[in-house]
Chain A
Amino acid sequence: MRPFLVLICPVLLLLGLSYLLPFLGIMRLSFTDPVPGLAQYRTVAEDPLILSVIWRTLRICAIVTAVSVAAAYVVTLLWVRGRPLTRSIVELCIMIPFWISVLSRAFGWLSFLSNRGLLNTWLKDAGLIETSLQMTRNEFAIIVGMSHYLIPFAVFPLATAMRNLDERTLIAAEGMGASRLRIFWQVFLPMTASGILGATLLVFVFSVGFFVTPALLGGGQSVMVAELIYLWIFQTPKWGLAAAMSVILMLGVGSILVLLMRRYGRIAQ
């Protein structure tokens, strides 16, 4: 055995014990509890309520991913290519959220968006609205909360792509008479495509498994897959169903990753 394999062994062992083994347990559970066979999977595939949760999850995650990546693109542009002062301010705004727990952030949004929260109060004081707008306990709140959490994660792949871009291609394009708009759409944006892809993957994969933010900001009204699994484990004893759902989630995310990396792996390099 090569020496580096020996050195890497403890990590493999830890991962095997803490991730692989429990996952195999979940797999087993999904085929055995409460009845052996594929019954749990059939329920997931047929129950309209479960399907609607899956559909909602995919929809919210797609929107959140689009919003986060688009917003992160602008933020990263300011961070990488802005003036020094802009850069420092943006950098702070990216870093600070990392030090605040996901729970505090969800509560923050709750107090900002709720019926008697800051935003509604301001809007009323300004005379823009008569009665409070319903901005929590719905998908809007979930999307706001999740996007806010995920934007910084999208920033880093984008920043790498923007920093690696050969400045001279932009100078060359400008020298050939291209307008700023054309340079952005036809040179800058396609040249940072690898970063956009990376950010999209990262954010989507993170968002599919989100639990705290949707649970708090959705207020039980807009249940997503992770919350459903939680309910099945802790509130109603449907462990087999929860296990089946977990396996599907895992395989779904895994196959999206593999497919996209196959398709766009060349660009990412």
Chain B
Amino acid sequence: MTGTAQIEACSIDRKFGTFSALSGVSLSLGEGEFLSLLGPSGSGKSTFLSIIGGYDAPTSGKLLFEGRDITATPAKERGFGMVFQGYALFPHLTVAENIAFPLKVQKRPRAAIRDRVAEMVEMTGLSGHEKKKPAALSGGQQQRVALARALAYEPRVLLLDEPFSALDRNLRTQMQEELRRLHRDLGTTFVFVTHDQEEALALSSRIAIFNHGQLQQIGRPEEIYEAPANRFTAEFLGDINILTLDSAGGGICGTPIVLPGNAVPTGGHLAMRPEHMRLAAGSDGNQLPVRLRDRVYLGPKSRLMLETRGGEELMLYVENDALLPQLAAGSELHVAWDARHSFFL
């Protein structure tokens, strides 16, 4: 976080009848941050974005912008940029006219509008397409027009509602790169809604995880990934192995385990990311006997589906060059991991 908070949400609630879309969401956002709101569909992330933008009003709670209460301020007076899901471009206007629309609304001088549109076209790589209608553009180009239109009037905050959900994988990666560059160059605060965890990890300075209308955790991508606050966050972001600890002795199915931080817990769960586990060779670190249930070939690596003696499932990836070809379903193996990479859930 840089400096003091630019946007502050204080216990925001949003109810639709009896359904609670958001409950008690509080977070603060520094100027120039790139915050991703991440969660499954129906988790309240889009509702929260709408509330920040002024397109929806909270049932209770307060929203501050630079210390001012803007809870009741309509969207048009907040002056934030917004990229809508599906882009919401004006189909009857050309690219240039779409970008110029908010500038004309602000009654800027004609020459200034022309210069600014040219600048935005250049910045978003739309040169040569100025006179085309949105329908004549590809998905990626439409996306750029939406970005250019939202950024044309130099908003302090840019809100993006699943902007890449309609793009194919390659284009997505490319647009993510461009969005990072825009964010770096402009220094505008970006708030970005997505349900794609990889996208959130790759783009954000911080991620806010939503589920059932509640903020589960907010933090830098590596904090959230490596130290998830709860089981939902751990399972939602990336792959995770969760093993039940014996109620006494701190082992797993009778096998003694070294726990993180020299803790001596009774019961509970121990979690670790698959990339921190390996097939044990010899007698290193924590070792757990497992049985191979299935092996999924993925090109450069394989995913091994394993089962502990207690019947709990876990998985890990192995490089295919190191993989012994005789690994077949039913093989008895040992997995190993470093205690520092495991955590309690």
Interface residues, chain A, CB within 8 Å of chain B? 166, 168-169, 171-178, 182, 186-187, 190-191, 193
Chain B residue total in the interface (Cβ 8 A) = 23
Q: 4 other contacts beyond A176-B149, A178-B105, with CB at 8 A cut-off?
A: A166-B88, A171-B84, A175-B54, A175-B76
Check if B102 is an interface residue, CB within 8 A of chain A. Answer: yes
Tell which of B75, B85, B90 touches A174, judged by Cβ atoms closer than 8 Å: B75
Q: Can you name 11 A-B pairs with beta carbons within 8 Å?
A: A168-B88, A169-B89, A169-B91, A171-B84, A172-B82, A172-B88, A176-B76, A176-B105, A177-B105, A182-B105, A190-B92
Tell which of A168, A169, A174, A187 touches B76, judged by Cβ atoms closer than 8 Å: A174
Report Cα–Cα, A172/B76, bound state, in Å. 9
Report, nearest first, the 9 A-B pairs whose CB atoms are least far apart. Answer: A168-B88, A176-B102, A172-B88, A177-B76, A175-B75, A190-B92, A169-B88, A177-B105, A168-B84
Check if B55 is an interface residue, CB within 8 A of chain A. Answer: yes
Contact across chains for B90 and A171 when beta carbons are under 8 A apart: no
Given contacts A173-B101, A174-B75, A177-B102, whether A187 and B90 have CB atoms under 8 Å apart is: yes
Report Cα–Cα, A182/B79, bound state, in Å. 18
Q: Which residues in A have their C-beta under 8 angstroms from that of B91?
A: 169, 191
Contact across chains for B89 and A176 when beta carbons are under 8 A apart: no
Contact across chains for A171 and B88 when beta carbons are under 8 A apart: yes
Check if B39 is an interface residue, CB within 8 A of chain A. Answer: no
In chain B, positions 78-105 with a C-beta closer than 8 Å to chain A are 79-80, 82, 84-86, 88-92, 101-102, 105
Contact across chains for A171 and B92 when beta carbons are under 8 A apart: no
Q: Which residues in A have their C-beta under 8 angstroms from that of B250?
A: none
Q: Which residues in A have their C-beta under 8 angstroms from that of B80?
A: 175
Contact across chains for B106 and A177 when beta carbons are under 8 A apart: yes
Determine how close the nearest CB of chain B comes to the CB of A41; give it in whole angstroms. Answer: 42
Q: Which residues in A have their C-beta under 8 angstroms from that of B53?
A: 175
Q: Which residues in B have their C-beta under 8 angstroms from that of A193?
A: 92
Contact across chains for B82 and A169 when beta carbons are under 8 A apart: no
Report Cα–Cα, A74/B105, bound state, in Å. 25
Q: Which residues in A have their C-beta under 8 angstroms from that of B89?
A: 169
Report Cα–Cα, A187/B91, bound state, in Å. 9
Q: Which residues in B have their C-beta under 8 angstroms from that of A175?
A: 53-55, 75-76, 80, 82
Report Cα–Cα, A174/B101, bound state, in Å. 11
Contact across chains for B92 and A166 when beta carbons are under 8 A apart: no
Report Cα–Cα, A174/B53, bound state, in Å. 12
Residue of A nearest to B78 (CB): A175
Determine how close the nearest CB of chain B comes to the CB of A176; give it in whole angstroms. Answer: 4
Taken residue by residue from 160 to 191, chain B's Cβ proximity to chain A (1 for < 8 Å, 0 otherwise) reads as 00000000000000000000000000000000
Q: Which residues in B have their C-beta under 8 angstroms from that of A187?
A: 90
Residue of B nearest to A187 (CB): B90
Residue of B nearest to A174 (CB): B76
Report Cα–Cα, A193/B101, bound state, in Å. 19
Q: Which residues in A have their C-beta under 8 angstroms from that of B85?
A: 168
Report Cα–Cα, A169/B85, bound state, in Å. 11
Residue of B nearest to A192 (CB): B92
Report Cα–Cα, A176/B154, bound state, in Å. 12
Given contacts A172-B82, A175-B75, A176-B105, whether A191 and B54 have CB atoms under 8 Å apart is: no
Q: Which residues in B have their C-beta under 8 angstroms from that of A177?
A: 76-77, 79, 102, 105-106
Report Cα–Cα, A239/B222, bound state, in Å. 89
